[in-house]
Amino acid sequence: MHKKIRDSDTSGLADSFTESSATFRSHEVLLKAGALQNAIFNSANFSSIATDAKGVIQIFNVGAERMLGYAAADVLNKITPADISDPQELIARAKALSAELETPIALGFDAMVFKASRGIEDIYELTYIRKDGSRFPAVVSVTALRDDQDEIIGYLLIGTDNTARKQIEAEQKKLDQRLRDNQFYTRSLIESNIDAIITADPAGIITDVNKQMEALTGRTRDELIGAPFKNYFTDPERAEASINLVLSKNKVTDYELTARAIDGKETVVSFNATTFYDRNRRLQGVFVSARDVTERKRLDQVLQEKNVELVIAKSLAEKANLAKSDFLSSMSHELRTPLNAILGFAQLLGAGSPPPTALQMNRLDQITKAGWYLLELINQILDLAAIESGKFSLSEEPVSLTDVMGECQAMMEPQAHQHGIKLTFLPFDNTWFVKADRTRVKQVLINLLSNAVKYNREHGTVEVKCSKSPPERIRISIKDSGMGIAPEKMAQLFQPFNRLGQENGIEEGTGIGLMVTKRLVELMEGIIGMESSVGTGSEFWIELIQDVTPQPAAGKTLSLQPASQAPGNVALKTLLYVEDNPANLMLVEQIIAEHSHFRMLSAADGNLGIALARAHRPDVILMDINLPGINGYQALKILREDPLTVHIPVIAISANAMPCDIGKGLAAGFFRYLTKPIKINEFMNVLEDALKFSKTGEISANILDKDHD
């Protein structure tokens, strides 16, 4: 039979079941908590080191083994965490904590756990030392372990490897430093700029300025940033328009504005600006560089005023030069006109029949000598004046030294013989040519040769030689056996009107010949120099640029018959001379009277001369330039336009002897241009040349050569 179960027995069984269930659940929670704790403690990502109260390691988890390279058996009950930490850091930590907490703290493990032992949360950085000696940074959290009576029974140090974060921090520091360096460099560039630098946003609000902008406006950087750009200029609308112009065109240059400082000072600036963008090409604003051009504007104004003054001065100088040229031309004309008569009639008297007596010839020689010297003086003064005024022109061409030296020798040998001087021209290459003006080369050489003869000793010598002078020059040397020149006087050698003490000597001279010679050589891109020894003699030399030997044009034949040789058995030739000066007219009449194959007509003015030319059609016309009524140029123009007279060669005979006068005459169409006073032989040679041209219409080689003399 079954026993009957009482209610009280059933109630106790239920209580017992409930208690068992609770116990089971608690045990399950403990198991889960233990598993979680064990998982955390043995995590490979954290180093968990537990010590006893004295710091000796009791637990060394997997994470600690991985990070530090020790096996648990290597450290348990053997060392403290201080033994695997940087000792210098522990010393520093002990000092820092002693100062912070105002209590002495021992070195080593005590320094690691002191705060934790006082119940203070302690997380700090330290450097762990691995078994192999390598180091790595770690972040350590230290906690004191206590029993039920709250007594410390040990410490727990949980650490993480801080290497990656340290590297990131180091890189970030580098980046931050680089950014600061770049910012400093950029700022330095902006501040060191001599221009005022401004940046503004697209609305024209200033976002940054440099010191120059502060100085320009008299305001601080803080005052300027955030203010409208236009506020600091005398014309705000123009300033605002400049920003809009930059935004529309991306760039503006040389845009002038006037800045106004807080004290009212105004400064003209040249405004250059461009837009700038961020890395995504989004417009950020306008970059402005404003340079102070106040001084430049002032200098421009001064320069404009000076330019006006220079233009006026140049005009005055040109007028003065023109007046000077007119004066020299007039003076030359007025001096040459009477000289023409003096020298012309003296030459006629000397060649007259019956011949003059010895006494008369001596007197005539004095007249002609004085006349030619006066002419030389006039020529040299006019040459110097023309050179000084910059109106001296040259006709450069390849010049044969053989021809020029031969002519100089022929001209100087009589003078040398008269003074008892032996003149020697040493042989040289007859193919040598120089780039020069043929007439001026002869003038230079004749002057130097004349001086070498005049200032030589009795029965002295003059030696002339030519030689190559590198790189591409030819040197012509003239060496005399005279008294030489003292070194202290050589510096004065090429000064005008300075004859180095020879003023009281027996030899005549102008004192400007060497000056003109030097200037002529330099105008031909040459060099002149001299060497001298007192008592021995002097050597003057010039160097001219060597030129190539000219080749005659193929198929062109030129007559080489000398112009001075009059053709025989010729018909009577008619010569018309248009001249208003009776003395000059009489001189030419008497010259022509000595030549039977000429008949001469004359006219005292240009209009009468034209009428006679049309009526008689002379073979040659001689034309003065300064005539009453119409001048020689006007008369020549009329003759050239008339079919009846166009073919007649017209020779100018004028006292207007400036180089510009001669050039003007030849350019106008005169066959030749003779200057007064005339030389009879030269006059007759030119006349014969004109007759040949009148007959054949061809110019001989001799005529071409004479055009350059």
Query: Quick one: pLDDT at residue 423?
Result: 93
Do residues 287 and 273 lie in contact, with contact meaning Cβ atoms separated by under 8 Å?
yes
Please give the Cα distance from 672 to 666 (Å, whole number). Answer: 7
Please choose, from the candidates 675, 682, 632, 631, the residue with its C-alpha nearest in 3D space to the C-alpha of residue 657: 675
Name every residue whose Cβ is closer than 8 Å to that of residue 630 and which is 6 or more positions away in sequence. Answer: 605, 606, 607, 638
Token representation of residue 420: 């008892």
- Specify the residue for token string 């997997």: 62
Query: Quick one: pLDDT at residue 35?
Result: 59
Q: What is the pTM of this model?
A: 0.39
- In this predicted structure, the answer to whether residue 142 has a pLDDT above a threshold of 70 is yes
- In this predicted structure, the answer to whether residue 3 has a pLDDT above a threshold of 90 is no
Percent of the chain with pLDDT over 90: 34
Dihedrals phi, psi of 228, to nearest 5 degrees: -65, 135
SS3 content of the chain, % helix, strand, coil (to 5): 50, 20, 30
Please give the Cα distance from 45 to 191 (Å, whole number). Answer: 52
Pairing of strands 598-603, 573-578: parallel
Please give the Cα distance from 157 to 81 (Å, whole number). Answer: 9
- Specify the residue for token string 């399950």: 28
Query: Quick one: pLDDT at residue 167?
Result: 84
Token representation of residue 289: 């560089």
Cα–Cα distances (Å) from 524 to 387, 450, 543, 549, 550, in that order, read 12, 21, 10, 18, 19
Query: Quick one: pLDDT at residue 31?
Result: 57
Query: Quick one: pLDDT at residue 326?
Result: 65
How many other C-beta atoms are found inside a 10 Å radius of the C-beta of residue 655?
Answer: 25
Token representation of residue 633: 């140029």
Domains and CATH numbers, the chain: 39-161 (3.30.450.20), 193-292 (3.30.450.20), 393-547 (3.30.565.10), 573-706 (3.40.50.2300)
Q: What is the pLDDT of residues 694-705, one digit of tens each?
A: 766 543 333 334
Please give the Cα distance from 525 to 457 (Å, whole number). Answer: 33
- In this predicted structure, the answer to whether residue 555 has a pLDDT above a threshold of 50 is no
Q: What is the pLDDT of residues 119-133, one digit of tens each?
A: 888 899 999 999 999
Helix, coil or strand: residue 6: coil
**Can you list the alpha helix ranges (DSSP code H) found in 419-528?**
438-454, 487-490, 513-523
Please give the Cα distance from 81 to 162 (Å, whole number). Answer: 17
Token representation of residue 410: 């022929």
Please give the Cα distance from 33 to 45 (Å, whole number). Answer: 20
Do residues 422 and 387 lie in contact, with contact meaning Cβ atoms separated by under 8 Å?
no
- In this predicted structure, the answer to whether residue 60 has a pLDDT above a threshold of 90 is yes
Query: Quick one: pLDDT at residue 581?
Result: 83
Q: What is the pLDDT of residues 317-352, one digit of tens each?
A: 677 766 766 666 666 666 767 777 777 787 778 777
Helix, coil or strand: residue 512: coil
- In this predicted structure, the answer to whether residue 489 has a pLDDT above a threshold of 80 is no
Q: What angle do CA 407, 675, 327 make, to 5 degrees?
A: 125
Do residues 483 and 534 lie in contact, with contact meaning Cβ atoms separated by under 8 Å?
yes
| Nearest-10 Cα torsion for 271, 274, 275, 277 | -130
Position 564 confidence tier, pLDDT thresholds 50, 70, 90 = very low
- In this predicted structure, the answer to whether residue 144 has a pLDDT above a threshold of 90 is yes
Do residues 628 and 580 lie in contact, with contact meaning Cβ atoms separated by under 8 Å?
yes
Q: In the predicted model, what is the mean pLDDT of the chain?
A: 81
